[in-house]
A and B are shown apart, each in its own frame.
Chain A
């Protein structure tokens, strides 16, 4: 189960809740694409309630940076759970996006 809500704290971006795997790859990509299309430079993704992400989801994040985002555009990944932060580290996601605690 995945839900994606717009942030309501004044920052541009969304809160991702639940599990991101191959079953929800399409809505996940669509939400990120929409955020990128808005042209905002710093897009905040609140991951504090994201329980799980698989390599498909990680591939989508990397693909956004590599093939979709304009120069200067950036995801800021907020407070991923420990197991997810570990996966970001393993796959190099932490090298292309800023990971923030809050």
Chain B
């Protein structure tokens, strides 16, 4: 039985195909439309998933959407009524869209895939995320905390996963969504990434500022008997998207400051970011405390947009609230689609159960391959070992190298397969990494990809962060001397966003880093996504070659073909 899970919105729409509880394919819509975080119905991604199954299969047995559309509609209606009369603008816009299109999605999906209506199912968004996080975890029992921007009316949910079941224990209403409030605050500070809801700049910028008096935290986040309560009046944006930061927020953060172009930020923007970070960290810890109390589990899976925030993950790990924290190797959209498909398989008549903890599969291998022909590249490298040698030698020589190898990561962020690598010892290399065409602000620090065996000696990694750090960056403190040696990869607050690259999950990159370590003593590379600002990761050979032509990088390796900058011949091992 094939179950197709679909997720709309979040950090990009996605589709996932599952057969008898086993994931077969996972695709993001943005890879096909080339619109970053494309939130629209992922029909192209769904067809790509079905195509992977093989010829003749044009429709799944079930479709599961990771959202309850009528619940979302009800929530919008209630919010806009509660905001009367200020909600009139938002009401006109959203109801026009919902009544005209979004409410009838069941029929549309049934038509698109030629299925009877009763084969289209709907999973609650938080439950889908929880199922995805649980299925990718290595455990047979754990707490699951979902913090989402909430399509339906949930801002946070606590689940307990046990064997093949997840059970919801408690929820917070949608307006208390920590990711939403953080996004509104980041928007007020002008820190949202172009074309997305990504507020990842807050953590980087916070290190340059100071949180003076905790006024923001005190105003937005109140202690209560059951752990957390966010001040409702400060979150009008939840009820009326036009409201933005309210007058109260403006008093606390000051009028919307402008981020100076190019310069290392200081003053109101950096102080504002520090205040938002302090508030977010404290609220997250309270939510985690409540999760621990309700589930009595010592291990936790975290899902939602904040799960990929390296700085907040670092705070959570340092708190020691949990023995272990797991974050799925798939970002929100893909995780919800995967979870919906797994959950749908469980609920449908022939139901497969969720894969029990420790299932032997890796979603990191499910992305699609590069489109286009790589056999015409100028320099053929004889096998993987030559690729490893070439990359390692170039990086040690101070080169900045693009690398596209194997299937793409099923999410918006590169994890070693569509990436740009540079030597972390040199500030010049960091600047090269951050320059056009990939460009991001000089005050941001790129994540450090480290061979797993090298991490403990160089960074103070809390034991609870070990599962999470293997799936993506976590901000951890550098040990004495490391900041001086790896200046380009350690932030001004002495932390680095470290990703521990395992030999099992990423064998080739692990070998490259190990070779670098043999030469320099640091088995590490600065790593950033191979994309232009506002665009998805590279998806085709043509695009990658063109991006290389516009860059000043020393070279690029696509599978086993190398492109080297003129005048910079291939390095010899």
Q: Do A and B bind each other?
A: no
- A residues with a Cβ closer than 8 A to B are none
